[in-house]
Amino acid sequence: MTHDEAGSLLTGEVRELVRRRGIDPVTDRHGLDRLVGEAVADYGDRATLGVVPPLVDPAATTRALIDTFGGFGPLQPYLDDPEIEEIWINNPAQVFVARRGVSELTTTLLTGQQVRDLVERMLKSSGRRLDLSSPFVDATLPGGERLHVVIPDVTREHLAVNIRKHVVRAHHLDHLVRLGSLTAHAAAFLDAAVRAGANILVSGATQAGKTTMLNALAGSTPAGQRVISCEEVFELRLPVRDHVAMQCRQPSLEGTGEIPLRRLVKEALRMRPDRIVIGEVREAESLDMLIALNAGVPGTGTVHANSAREAITKMCTLPLLAGENISDRFVTPTVASALDVVVHLGVTPGGVRQCREIVVVTGRVEEGRVETAQLFRRRPASAGGELVRGDGFPAEVEKFERVGVDVHALLAGER
């Protein structure tokens, strides 16, 4: 009997023990650890007697069994690795990971059945489904990771699986300063902006750190304020005591019961929020977000964009998806009056996330364009690449004055 055959034999024995004892290996981790320990010890006794071949590495076998039954099998070591930010499967023979922003092909080889079994196990705790009528799924894993799966025939042949982790959970802007994403000067302004109730839009490409920035901004929320967050799936971990998190819901098999992001934003306004957080604005919910911000409820949100300027342009365009009765003559001035600050993020070729620029919205519209002013900008790499002060200035100084902040001194660098 080979080593692989010995492992398969032990796996079968553990599976039978789990069935006989009726434990849930996912929720009863202590019971699984004890069961696997007993099974490996018993196997070791039989190996000593020559009944079965010895295990090459009993400790590694124990970990593999626990990962198989209580975790996500061959993917569990990547989920446990703090340096790995994302895992994706193009086909069973191609499992990739992103480590510190750089992708690499792993040596893990799976079978099609293993991939299907792993996806089924991941979705078990989420209550979300994946079938021909719903070939895409977004879900949250028990550890907080975000799962996205696409099935054939939307994909050519194999399931496409993405698992996005949140490796760096920055709970305050100071954490981003230590990570090199922000300067202390820019962080001080953003901290004051949150305390002043400014409406902040965070923009950037995928994996630029938008969710991390939202978490860090929330760390400046004044004590005692109530925050309501709305997301497609749960990703935010806001360091706020009074926080209600809501996520969207997919339709049932009968096509009923769907709760889109637009509905969540509307419901959030009925929940006595002191501020709202929109995880990501993609479509017509941008209109509801603007209406909420114009109703006097401070808020933050994210949007995919290539620059702060393009983020504002996108916010002037997305609300038009809400219906034919919504025109740019309404949306553009609404954006100008609702948004205060745009924080744009980027990723260097080496995988380092950083703030590229911070602009303020002046509240004016010139020739159909929302006017902005640059507060901070990042120099070219040839000039050191630092985030330096621009020549812009916030329009609504009164917001800062109400919380005791001298924004002139703050932006001049005086503390």
Q: What is the 3-state secondary structure (H, E, C) of 3-63?
A: HHHHHHHHHHHHHHHHHHHCCCCCCCHHHHHHHHHHHHHHHHHHHHCCCCCCCCCHHHHHH
Q: Are 141 and 190 in a shared domain? A: no
Q: Are 372 and 345 in a shared domain? A: yes
The domain boundary, picked from 70, 92, 113, lies at 70
Q: Are 65 and 80 in a shared domain? A: no
Q: Are 274 and 405 in a shared domain? A: yes
Question: Closest Cα partner for 276 from 333, 221, 213, 332?
Answer: 221
Please tell me the predicted confidence (pLDDT) of residue 100.
80
Q: Return the top range by mean pLDDT from 65-74, 92-101, 119-128.
A: 92-101
Q: Are 390 and 358 in a shared domain? A: yes
Q: Are 46 and 191 in a shared domain? A: no
Q: Are 219 and 346 in a shared domain? A: yes
Instruction: Determine the average pLDDT of the residues in 190-194.
Output: 97
Entry pTM: 0.82
Render pLDDT for 221-267 as a digit per residue (tens, 0 to 9).
999 999 999 999 888 989 899 999 999 988 877 778 889 999 999 99
Can you give the CATH number for the domain in which 261 is found?
A: 3.40.50.300
Can you say how many angstroms the Cα of residue 180 is from the centroid of all Cα atoms in its chain?
Answer: 20
When divided into structural domains, the chain yields a total of: 3
Q: Are 345 and 405 in a shared domain? A: yes
Q: Are 193 and 287 in a shared domain? A: yes
Dist. CA 103–CA 83, nearest whole Å = 12
Q: Are 102 and 46 in a shared domain? A: no
Dist. CA 407–CA 192, nearest whole Å = 8
Render pLDDT for 347-403 as a digit per residue (tens, 0 to 9).
888 888 899 999 999 999 998 899 999 999 998 865 568 899 999 999 889 999 999
Query: Is a pLDDT exceeding 60 seen at residue 1?
Result: no
The domain boundary, picked from 109, 137, 164, lies at 164
Dist. CA 260–CA 264, nearest whole Å = 7
Q: Are 329 and 280 in a shared domain? A: yes
Q: pLDDT band for 299, please (50, 70, 90 cuts).
A: very high
Widest CA span of the chain, in angstroms?
87
Q: Return the top range by mean pLDDT from 2-6, 17-21, 104-108, 320-324.
A: 104-108
The domain boundary, picked from 145, 164, 183, lies at 164
Dist. CA 247–CA 243, nearest whole Å = 13
Which domain range does residue 282 map to?
A: 173-411
Question: Closest Cα partner for 300 from 128, 173, 391, 185?
Answer: 173
Please tell me the predicted confidence (pLDDT) of residue 3.
52
Dist. CA 293–CA 242, nearest whole Å = 20
**Mean pLDDT across the chain:** 89
Can you give the CATH number for the domain in which 118 is found?
A: 3.30.450.90
Q: Are 239 and 322 in a shared domain? A: yes
Q: pLDDT band for 91, please (50, 70, 90 cuts).
A: very high
